[in-house]
């Protein structure tokens, strides 16, 4: 008999099953029912409920009375720098599996330049280029090159076609492009 692909209780179909990050499968309707049953069997004590409401209310009350101080603390330069540094570390690790040290090493290996156009990025950090199929990091690119690869759907054929297009239809000293047709211009006419 073939294995059932839906929930373990065989009540719900395959479309209700999701795979969690740890690899385990979870049937959402069954999970909701089990959670509700647990909450009914193990209600919060009066103390836990009052404590929850107190903390929830206290946070709102504190913010209402100390709004300017809270906002000033959030805008403090040291806090902003810490938040930006944390977000950078978190995003590098979450999106690409890189640490800041590995990014800096890759940056140094490339000489601080884009891997495609070899220009130094002055205003922004170089973007991490990765293969969307495997997740493997390929290198660091400037914003323009990274967006170009994305717009060309990371397809080498499209990139070659674009290069041929530019080479074939480039305006040279002796040629001008008029709606796709090449017409020579004499040097005497100018």
> Domains of the chain: which residue ranges?
28-74, 99-168
Q: What percent of the chain has pLDDT over 70?
A: 82
CATH class of 99-168: alpha beta
Number of neighbouring beta carbons within 10 Å of residue 57 = 10
Predicted TM-score (pTM) of this structure: 0.54
Q: Contact, 163 vs 171, CB < 8 A?
A: no
Query: In which band, very low, low, confident or very high, does the pLDDT at 105 lie, cut at 50, 70 and 90?
Result: very high
Whole-number Cα distances in Å, 75 to 25, 59, 83, 87, 181:
43, 19, 11, 16, 58
Parallel, antiparallel or unpaired: strands 175-178 and 137-141: unpaired
Q: Is 140 exposed, middle or buried (0-12, 13-18, 19+ CB in 10 A)?
A: buried
């Amino acid at each position: 008999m073939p294995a059932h692909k839906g929930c373990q209780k065989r009540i719900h179909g395959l479309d209700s099953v999701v795979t969690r990050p740890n690899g385990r499968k979870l049937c959402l309707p069954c999970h909701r029912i089990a959670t509700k049953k647990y909450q009914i069997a193990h209600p919060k004590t009066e103390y836990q409920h009052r404590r929850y409401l107190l903390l929830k209310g206290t946070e709102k009350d504190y913010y209402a009375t100390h709004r300017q101080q809270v906002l000033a603390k959030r805008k403090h330069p040291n806090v902003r720098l810490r938040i930006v540094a944390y977000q950078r570390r978190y995003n590098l690790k979450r999106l690409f599996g890189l640490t800041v040290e590995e990014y800096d090493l890759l940056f140094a290996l490339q000489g601080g330049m884009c891997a495609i156009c070899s220009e130094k990025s002055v205003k922004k950090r170089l973007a991490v280029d990765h293969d969307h199929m495997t997740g493997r990091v390929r290198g660091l690119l400037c914003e323009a090159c990274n967006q170009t690869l994305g717009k060309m759907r990371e397809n080498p054929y499209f990139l070659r076609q674009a290069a041929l297009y530019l080479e074939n239809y480039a305006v040279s000293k002796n040629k001008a492009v008029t709606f796709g047709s090449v017409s020579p211009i004499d040097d005497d006419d100018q």
